Amino acid sequence: MTTAIDIRSVVKTFGEFTALHGVSLDIADNAFFTLLGPSGCGKTTLLRLIAGFEAVTAGEIRLFGEDIARLEPNRRPVNTVFQHYALFPHMSVIDNVAFGLKMQGLDLSGRRARAGKMLEMVHLSAFADRLPSQLSGGQQQRVALARALAPAPKVLLLDEPLSALDLKLRQAMRVELKQLQEDTGITFIFVTHDQEEALTMSDRIAVMSAGQVQQIGTAQEIYEAPSNRFVADFIGETNLLEVDVHQVHEGRATLTLPGGHRLSCPSALVAPGRHSLSIRPERVTISDSAELSAADLSATVERVVYLGSDLQVLTRLADDTAFTIRLQNAARTEVPSPGAQIGLHLEEGAARLLAD
Amino acid sequence: MAGGDDSWRPLAPRLLIPTWVVIGLFSLLPVILMAVYSFLTKEFRGGVIWDFTLAAYDQFFIDRGLFGDEPARLEWTYINIFGRSLLQAAICTALCLVVGFPTAWFIATRPARTRAVWLFLITIPYWVNLLIRTVSLKFLIRDNGPLNEALMSIGLTSGPLPLVNTNLAVQLGLFYSYLPFMVLPIYAAVERYNFALSEAAADLYASRWTTLREIVLPVVKPGIIAGCILVFVPALGAFLAPDLLGGAKTFMIGSLIEEQFKGSQGNWPFGAAVSMILLTLVLIALIFYARTAAREGAR
């Protein structure tokens, strides 16, 4: 597997403020790679460093082995899809798409042909002679994609390109983007704060926070095995409980929940002491308190939130800790009513101890 | 707006009355007056006699010799003055553009807080009356003025440079008078410019120079054109700078017109005719521009 982009201990400061604290990343060729994190985490800064719009303070950025960290943006074989598209307002759609080709010195007929093919790819052939202002947001988005892909970059950078679209369009574009990445074989680096976007499209995800990479992995790894409290909390919904770990033996930890309930769960990572325990709401099943077994937690239902395909049950544990459960809204789901005492059954693997 | 109160709508035409009054009184009426006056006969102590004649236009275009008895030839005196004025105004516009664009760019790319300060600095000199500023300029560049004395004291020149009463001095005066009219509209355009467009161009392999030529200039073009019109039109009709800084050989249309209405030497119909010719020229230029712009827009 070839490495497309190799980022080594990249530091970026703006005056007193440090946006990136020594970030290192390997991005494989022909991958859909996502930088995911809340606003201000440094993900866009990292993308702008790769594109060359900002200069690194320290560190290396290698593109297929060549250090590009100090090249001007117009000398880097990467192209960008901007958050608000940044289409040239005075040029027709086809001229926008052909701009990069023109700069590369392709002749008029050559760039017309290539730009036409790109527009065909994003289903906009009929709009070639329009101005960007005459297109809808979704169409502008696709022009921006075609424009960035036309010069056949080695890596395509996408800066929250779907954030300005409405929900339906955003969902359709996710599939389209992933398809496009697979068809072109170009490495996509996608920046987003939307975890659903990240989970649905990415081959690999780097979760960032406060200028640092918190975890890198596939969607499944990041969701199922978050490496720390931040990742567990940021990706999806979770219940984070402060627990006391008594002992770790043969890959299993024995611990006590805040209410005194004892539990055993797999963990090879942590040492005895105080830790966070993450329990995903959908990994918990409920039962009547009458059928409570020794392994179950007891809780009081506070409120049931109807979410369409799901039901969210907000409960309190015996020690008053808030605890959320998600149930599928299936035909035979028995909906608990507020005030009811229920038992919570944790599936094997539902609880995960976090290192910090 | 949907659901808004529409009861004012029948009043709308009447609400426009003040606008029409202002345009009529201060734009249309003066132009009509001037057009009418240009066809009247001059009264010797200024003013007009209500006898319709083409004498004023005849005086402008046709030379019949000193006593008016020679065969009619084309009169070059005033056409030359027009030519000089057009040239001076064009040079002034070009200079203002070359200096004004980088200035406007510089101001527009400062942090929002300091932008206001820079704009303030640009406009400060214009709180002083134009006449006073032009006279001061004359003092600065006259033979024993500070500029010449400085040049001589550092040994760059042996005698004073004759600057006053030259086309150069007039140009300097025009340039200085109208520079802000170039800076401000371009500033407004650059301030609205989306710098992501420059990043996008660089991202697509355009050099800085290409980005300026292919992206920045076309996008801020409305500001540049507004600035050019705001400089060219008044510079064409300017009379303070040519009057105070120039001499007989640097005479411009503005001074020519001004003289016709000054004291008892004047010739009101001739002044009105020259104004009409100037107005016609400017209108033709603007219409030509508007049609080119419309054709480009339709493309």
Cβ contact B232:B85 at 8 Å: no
Q: Would residue B37 count as lying in a domain?
A: no
Strand A155-159 to strand A187-192: parallel, antiparallel, or no bridges (unpaired)?
A: parallel
Nearest of B41, B82, B42 to residue B60 by alpha carbon: B82
Q: Would residue B273 count as lying in a domain?
A: no
Q: pLDDT tens-digit profile of A14-44?
A: 988 999 998 999 999 999 999 999 988 999 9
What CA–CA distance (Å, rounded) separates B90 from A248?
A: 87
From chain B, the residues in CB contact with A72 under 8 A are 202
> Is residue A321 very low, low, confident or very high in pLDDT (cuts 50, 70, 90)?
confident
Task: Output A341 or B189, whichever has higher pLDDT.
Answer: B189
Q: At residue A189, does pLDDT exceed 90?
A: yes
Cβ contact A169:A138 at 8 Å: yes
DSSP annotation of A286 reads E
Q: At residue A7, does pLDDT exceed 80?
A: yes
Contacts of A264 (CB under 8 A, 6+ apart): A252, A253, A254, A255
Does any CB of chain A come closer than 8 Å to the CB of residue B131? no
CA B17 from centre of chain? 30
Closest to A89 (Cβ–Cβ): which among B199, B210, B219? B219
Residue B270 Cα, gap to closest chain A Cα (Å): 46
Work out the number of other CB atoms within 10 angstroms of the CB of residue B259: 18
Exposure b/e, A169-188, CB count within 10 A at least 16 = b: bbeebbebbbebbeeeebbb
Q: pLDDT tens-digit profile of B182-239?
A: 999 999 999 999 999 999 999 999 999 999 999 999 999 989 999 999 999 899 888 8
**In degrees, to the nearest 5, what angle opens at C-alpha A14 toward C-alphas A8 and A16?**
110
Q: At residue A336, does pLDDT exceed 60?
A: yes
Does any CB of chain B come closer than 8 Å to the CB of residue A111? no
The CA-based diameter of chain A, rounded to the nearest angstrom, is 79
Closest to B197 (Cβ–Cβ): which among A51, A73, A88? A88
Work out the number of other CB atoms within 10 angstroms of the CB of residue B18: 9
Q: Is the dihedral of CA A10, A36, A205, A221 positive or negative?
A: positive
pLDDT, position B297: 61
| Overall number of domains in chain B | 1
Task: Output A270 or A165, whichever has higher pLDDT.
Answer: A165
Cβ contact A246:A273 at 8 Å: no
Q: Would residue B121 count as lying in a domain?
A: yes
When the pLDDT of each residue in chain A is averaged and rounded to a whole number, the result is 87
Closest to B204 (Cβ–Cβ): which among A53, A84, A103? A103
**Taking CB atoms and an 8 Å limit, are A80 and B202 in contact across chains?**
no
Q: pLDDT tens-digit profile of B245-296?
A: 887 777 889 888 988 888 777 888 999 999 999 999 888 888 888 888 777 6
Nearest of A256, A257, A253, A278 to residue A267 by alpha carbon: A253
Nearest of A219, A227, A20 to residue A8 by alpha carbon: A20
Report how far apart, in Å, the C-alpha atoms of A71 and of each of A278, A297, B195, B211 are.
44, 59, 20, 17
Q: At residue A239, does pLDDT exceed 80?
A: yes
Does any CB of chain A come closer than 8 Å to the CB of residue B252? no
Tokens at residue A210, please?
């406060």
Does any CB of chain A come closer than 8 Å to the CB of residue B40? no
* pLDDT above 70 coverage of chain B, percent: 97
Does any CB of chain B come closer than 8 Å to the CB of residue A161? no
What CA–CA distance (Å, rounded) separates A178 from A180?
A: 5
> Is residue A332 very low, low, confident or very high in pLDDT (cuts 50, 70, 90)?
low
**Taking CB atoms and an 8 Å limit, are A88 and B215 in contact across chains?**
yes
Q: Would residue B221 count as lying in a domain?
A: yes
Q: Would residue B115 count as lying in a domain?
A: yes
Contacts of A219 (CB under 8 A, 6+ apart): A198, A199, A200, A202, A205
When the pLDDT of each residue in chain B is averaged and rounded to a whole number, the result is 88
Q: Which of B205, B214, B216, B299 to mutate to test the interface with A (most CBs of A within 10 A)?
A: B205
Closest to A151 (Cβ–Cβ): which among B200, B205, B215? B205
Q: Would residue B141 count as lying in a domain?
A: yes
Q: Would residue B48 count as lying in a domain?
A: no
Cβ contact A300:A340 at 8 Å: yes
Cβ contact A144:A82 at 8 Å: yes
Report how far apart, in Å, the C-alpha atoms of A115 and of each of A132, B125, B205 are.
15, 52, 16
Looking at this protein, which amino acid is placed at residue A353?
L
pLDDT, position B3: 52
**Taking CB atoms and an 8 Å limit, are A103 and B202 in contact across chains?**
no
What CA–CA distance (Å, rounded) separates B55 from A310?
A: 93
pLDDT, position B203: 93
pLDDT, position B36: 94
Complete DSSP assignment for chain B = -TTS--TTGGGHHHHTHHHHHHHIIIIIHHHHHHHHHTTSEEPTTSSEES---SHHHHHHHEE--TTS-SPPEE--HHHHHHHHHHHHHHHHHHHHHHHHHHHHHHHHTS-HHHHHHHHHHHHGGGGS-HHHHHHHHHHHHSTTSHHHHHHHHTTS-SS----TTSHHHHHHHHHHHHHHHHHHHHHHHHHH--THHHHHHHHTT--HHHHIIIIIHHHHHHHHHHHHHHHHHHHHH--HHHHHH--GGG--HHHHHHHHTSTTT--HHHHHHHHHHHHHHHHHHHHHHHHHHHHHHH-
Q: At residue B240, does pLDDT exceed 90?
A: no
CATH of the domain at B180: 1.10.3720.10
Q: Is B30 exposed, middle or buried (0-12, 13-18, 19+ CB in 10 A)?
A: exposed
What CA–CA distance (Å, rounded) separates B278 from B276?
A: 5
- Structural domain span for residue B140: 84-260
Q: pLDDT tens-digit profile of A63-108?
A: 998 889 889 999 999 999 998 999 999 999 999 999 999 999 999 9
Cβ contact A52:B206 at 8 Å: no
DSSP annotation of A224 reads H
What CA–CA distance (Å, rounded) separates B246 from B54?
A: 31
Mean pLDDT of B31-58: 88
Q: Is the dihedral of CA B36, B39, B43, B46 positive or negative?
A: positive
Q: Would residue B195 count as lying in a domain?
A: yes
